[in-house]
Structure 1
């Protein structure tokens, strides 16, 4: 979801998620041929859980990434900004402590699980100076959508070779929303690992469709590897909107493998290095997806049952 990567992801969106069966593994020009589907490695066994969180603490996230008592928590913004200008996103990454017009997150009364959400705020967001916050790429337009993001940059930023990262989430099918689970390194971008993204431009978005992406720097400059995936090829009845699902990624020394409910579905050479990495979960609005067709359909929620990191071998 980095602000400067817009041009590299357009081809993933245009390709369409129905082409997923041909994208189990990618072969880059400088990498050997990837394994076939039956050769995709299973999840390692053993390992040590080095991080886990159900995000149920009342003070689970803040603008600074720290609680009032100084302990780290999830951070409610990107490293340096609350807008993704390069992506031309419509949503402002809000925090309820800073933007009281927005809810941003809460607990689902039916399940007790945490959710984060993008919202429609027809009156716009106040800038605290009797004005409105405007789009960074279209200064005359007040922001009428909020987005939501939480990152572990201050909380847990030690994901590296031998780490398995897993998010247990359920998404919402709201046209104009763009939920994602991803990893970044502190400092300069790229690299980036997108565990999943869902480019929900319309209500016809498939219930089993996601995309995975990898961004790195080579001697040629910024390169990327995008793969739209049809999850029902790996689990009959797969549904990212009705059920909670576990989306995972194992960072091997030479290979990165993506998992859906414990089943491998994509592998590619590790071209991004050992990290260390931190986690991001977000629900964006617009950008690489069409603008919302029905604002009244919002909020667009990501329900989160838990997050964990398992370390295999020494970190």
Structure 2
């Protein structure tokens, strides 16, 4: 984040902070008196160890004493500021500073992320298992705490000390379980028929009726973020497009839409730039039935595995009186970067975010989000693979909170900061499904799967029977 929320008061001072009861009665705002402009930015979300605030990338100066023969070591992390957005740390060993301990053999740390979620206490106790205890005073080992949603990693050293007391408190601070989305069996307000979906370059069919649009609202490229894929369709690029969007049926008889990426045989010149790759998109900018400000957007998607094939299920704003698209706002319900921007390249990478700024200004003042590896998220199997079959991605948008889910399990919750600066409500989000390409032209782009397979889309209105608990 490059700017403090305090510097974008125009964006948020006119927000109406609703405290009404909604479909999710799981949690009350733990800090209802905190105005949106005082929500801590990441740079202010510093970590303390045992009450000592640390700068990012530093180690607690004094070692934490543990008694000789200890089989567990405990430490208290504290996250500064109101917890208005999910954050987590990993618990990793380090060979630096070790004495008498072989950390790879003697120390076991939790594999899953250790979380702060909205509603949680700022204190979080971490326990490290000592598989092979030591008894010699001065023997020690180091633990580091990198993560997401904090100002930066910190570290501490545990040291054998005679007479040391290292115990958990009698009453542990509250940390809630991840939420679960309950929508199966609930009739969606809108349910897209994937066997009958239509699209066109203009966003209208031959009879003038609105359909899905096979291009971005602002054109055919996203050159501003250095994407190297051109969003083609067969109407606008009849000589270059290579089946960018097709309706198909899989071996189980399930209809889906394939969004196809490929390296062009010859790069395509467009808008004064050269594009080596084909990207693909379908979006609902002209479909009023899919435009909503609150509720649940949900899609079933199998993501591509190819490095540089950057897939996403997301939404941007639309002025309802004019139908004009507006950016900001933006919600990234789900993204899989596949190595783009140096992000992780694994079959379990997930990312979600909100992009904040004056609506329609084309200027982003802040991004608030979270990246995860799902095998480290509680509730997911170690072998989870988003590229192997369709998975369910959902986002619950409420007046106060935005909550993201994969396969019905919470991955991120953050305060909704996407209202209009003037407090107006004549706007809504519309959904977008796309697979971008962001990789160098020299890359052969020929390993793994290049396509996003889109199996379904639903929208559930507020108070229509779904719940999160």
How many angstroms apart in 2 are the aligned matches of 1:81 and 1:110? 31
Secondary structure class of the residue paired with 1:86: helix
Q: In 2 relative to 1, CA 266–194 (structure 1 residues): closer, same or farther, beyond 3 Å?
A: same
Q: In 2 relative to 1, CA 72–221 (structure 1 residues): closer, same or farther, beyond 3 Å?
A: closer
Deviates more, 1:262-271 or 1:247-256: 262-271
Secondary structure class of the residue paired with 1:115: strand
Is residue 217 of structure 1 aligned with residue 357 of structure 2?
yes
Q: In 2 relative to 1, CA 272–185 (structure 1 residues): closer, same or farther, beyond 3 Å?
A: same
Partner of 2:292: 159
Structure index of larger Rg? 2
The two structures have a TM-score, normalised by structure 2, of 0.53
Q: How many residues align?
A: 277
How many angstroms apart in 1 are the aligned matches of 2:442 and 2:302? 20
How many angstroms apart in 2 are the aligned matches of 1:69 and 1:291? 40
How many angstroms apart in 1 are the aligned matches of 2:445 and 2:364? 39
Secondary structure class of the residue paired with 2:413: strand
| Matched-pair contact (CA < 8 Å) for 2:396–2:404 | yes
- Give 1:61's match in structure 2, choosing from 195, 199, 220: 199
1:45-76 C-alpha deviation (Å, 9 max, x unpaired)? 8865221113322x611111111122221111
Is residue 256 of structure 1 aligned with residue 402 of structure 2?
yes
Partner of 1:50: 189
Partner of 1:227: 370
- Give 2:246's match in structure 1, choosing from 106, 109, 129: 106
Deviates more, 1:192-201 or 1:110-119: 110-119
Structure 1 residue 243: deviation in Å?
A: 1.5
How many angstroms apart in 2 are the aligned matches of 1:77 and 1:107? 17
How many angstroms apart in 2 are the aligned matches of 1:298 and 1:81? 28
Partner of 2:333: 195
1:236-267 C-alpha deviation (Å, 9 max, x unpaired)? 13211002100000011101111111222211
Partner of 1:278: 430
Secondary structure class of the residue paired with 1:241: coil
The two structures have a TM-score, normalised by structure 1, of 0.77
Give RMSD over aligned pairs. 3.2
Structure having greater relative contact order (Cα 8 Å, sep ≥ 6): 1
Partner of 2:348: 208
Is residue 296 of structure 1 aligned with residue 446 of structure 2?
yes
Q: In 2 relative to 1, CA 96–221 (structure 1 residues): closer, same or farther, beyond 3 Å?
A: closer
